[in-house]
Copies of this chain bind each other. A is one copy, B any other.
Amino acid sequence: MKHTDFAPYPPMGWNSWDCYGAAVNEEQLLGNAGYMRDHLKEYGWNVVTCDIQWSEPSAFDTMYTPNAPLCMDEYSRLIPAPNRFPSAADGRGFLPISRKIHEMGLLFGIHIMRGIPRQAIYSRTKIKGTDLTADKVGDPFSVCGWNSDMYGVDVRSPGAQAYYDSLFELYAEWEIDFVKVDDIATTGAHANDSHCHGPMPGVGEIEMIHKAIMKCGRPIVLSLSPGPAPVEYAWMFKKNANMWRLTNDVWDNWSAVANMFERCETWQGHGGDGVWPDCDMLPFGHINCNARYGDNYCRMTHDEQISMMNLWSIFRSPLIVGAELRDCDEFTLSLLTNAEILRLNKHSYSPNQIYRTRRAAAWYSHDDNGDGGGEYYIALFNLRDEAATVTVSASDVDEFDIRGRQIRDLWAHKDIGVSGDVIEAALPPHGSVVYRLK
């Protein structure tokens, strides 16, 4: 089995970061899992992921505490903080939560930072399966620029692969299905690039993590963060991971979506067959639930949120929603349950940008509808701050003839006529449409 078999379609799920930041707890994880089982599973959503700082007892909101003590086992491996995850007490780790989520018919994911806890270095704890202690494995020059928990591992150390193997052995024991590794997928994330041991900082650790997964006996999907992942390493990401971030964190503002058009342009042609360039989480619904400066519902307009779904879907990005699902309003739920758009995300292939300017963008993609019959999608986006008509002409598309086809609007859920030389849409500010051409 190859790692690309672990994610045949772009992963769909929920992650605790947007709503609970560094301080999610067991009740919140299981509560959102329950909602997913009841309302979203039938649409394909099935991964529940616990994000950062689950080993820090003192975490209480979205921010990090420099030099905070963490829960750790005797082998320098972080374990869940029992005050936040009661079922993890007595060394049970994430297994009890994992089991409950599996019983719901869902998958369970966790977040980790690359590297080894700094506190392990200074307490000189052991590395499982070796005679070494952590200070011989951690590279004190390989430091994250925004979180002080870990040092990167020194990939030249004899204990480096053993350490990562021991992590994934533990995660397999916990029956984890999905691991999001952080501080690893971009050059900018590393404070100290001059000390990298490979061509890009993090490459060595990405390869080690891939090997550890292949050894651990469980088909764990590997997700790498944050971006921007450098496209020079497209080949390396495909070789080792299932998804990797195209940008730094996306939040609920249009500028992040607008920027994604450029990134999707760059990365077009790279996704498919088990590897998925990742446009990041969907910050829909109720988020920032325990933020220091207050919670909110997604601050983008409805049109902007639909445009986000449209771009993510035609590009075939993973779809990971950030809302406190139990607080979903009708509109948010409608974003997550449009079966025609979700089919585009899951079953279309070979998406292509038709053009991109400061004012508009257009994409097309393919769908054989199961019968090889050659259907197509066209997405039109208005990037302006005012209403505008966006068009695609027959001469803009080389690969097929846009003319004379039945047009179906995937958000109106109805057929709207037959195409001529030009396909167009009158769109609100930052609005978009996706048409299916039969």
Q: Which residues of A contact B (CB under 8 A)?
A: 2, 66-67, 118-119, 121-123, 135-136, 138-141, 143, 145-146, 148, 154, 191-192, 194-195, 199, 231-232, 234-235, 262, 265-266, 268-269, 353, 398
Contacts and interface: CB of A to CB of B under 8 A. Distances in A.
Contacts of A195: 145, 191
Contacts of A235: 265-266, 268-269, 353
Most buried by B among A2, A136, A140, A148: A140
A197 to B, nearest CB: 11
A140 B67 contact: yes
A216 to B, nearest CB: 17
A146 B235 CA distance: 31
Nearest to A66: B140
Contacts of A353: 235
A143 B145 contact: no
30 contacts: A66-B135, A66-B139, A66-B154, A67-B122, A67-B135, A67-B138, A67-B140, A118-B140, A119-B122, A122-B123, A140-B143, A141-B191, A143-B192, A145-B192, A145-B194, A145-B195, A191-B191, A191-B192, A191-B194, A191-B195, A192-B192, A199-B262, A231-B231, A231-B232, A231-B234, A232-B266, A234-B269, A235-B266, A235-B268, A235-B269
In this complex, the member of A66, A118, A268, A353 whose beta carbon has the largest number of chain B beta carbons within 10 angstroms is: A66
A91 B385 CA distance: 54
A311 to B, nearest CB: 16
Contact of A118 (B122, B265, B266): B122
A207 to B, nearest CB: 10
A269 to B, nearest CB: 6
A143 B121 CA distance: 16
A118 B231 CA distance: 36
A236 to B, nearest CB: 9
B398 A2 contact: yes
Contacts of A268: 235
Contacts of A139: 66
